[in-house]
Amino acid sequence: MHSTGIALAVLFLIALGLMYRRDCKALRAERGKLFDACLALFDHHRLTQDAAAWPVLVGGYDGYEVHIAPLVDDVTFRKVPSLWLLVTVKRELPMRGAVDLLARAQNTEFYSPADSLPVRVVTPQEWPGQTTIKADRPAAELPLSVLDPHVRRFFGDPRAKEMLVTRHGVRMVYQAQGADRGEYLVLRRAVFRQATLPATLVESLLDQAVQVCADVIRGGVHGQA
């Protein structure tokens, strides 16, 4: 009787292991489709995906090197998690330091460098409200006038979260999707159903980041017009 119980327990554990592997494989396949609709946008690309994690794309777009990474933000209690899209366009820019613009800051943005930047810059009145500006130098040394139209356009979208401009390029953070509310409230699981990025969205974010780079380059050493 004792040996029968042990055998049943072993079989149960094996079944659990097989179910776990099956679920992980299915989750990996589902998440692996994230970029399927927008791959044609890139001159070349490479996708990497660790286990059942979200895939990361590195490629070329309009002559720029780009890096696009999804990131799940579930650190804020009682808030439905978000799937953020970190879109980075790499280009050496003629500016010193870094400036970070963050919308609706809650001090839980672990992906943002804002907390490490020592200078708080006053937000221009014409810019969208609830935008926090942090930098590593005074406003006079930042390309704020060049960034003005881009800030108004990007943060005019309520899903826009962050714009980071450094001498190495531009990164934009955008909410690609919110988690399934019912699933999260009941089971506290961040489930993103059928998460596939529309080509129009990815193209728009890339074009905006590329244009920021181009305008800062045209603006000169401090990015001033």
Give ∠ CA 184-186-189 in degrees, rounded to 5: 35
**What's the pTM value of the predicted model, to 2 decimals?**
0.83
Domain boundaries of the chain, sorted by first residue: 1-31, 34-219
More confident residue, 14 or 59: 59
Q: CA angle, corner 18, sides to 35 and 194, nearest 5?
A: 25
> Tokens 């799937």 label which residue?
83
**Nearest residue to 36 (alpha-carbon basis) of 25, 24, 49:** 49
Q: Of all helices (H) and strands (E), which one includes residue 44? A: strand 44-48
Dump pLDDT digits (tens) for 37-82: 999 999 999 999 887 688 999 999 999 999 999 998 876 656 778 8
Asked if residue 204 has pLDDT above 80, the reply is yes
pLDDT digits (tens, 9 = 90+) for 119-135: 999 999 899 889 999 99
What are φ and ψ of residue 192, in 5° steps? Answer: -115, 110
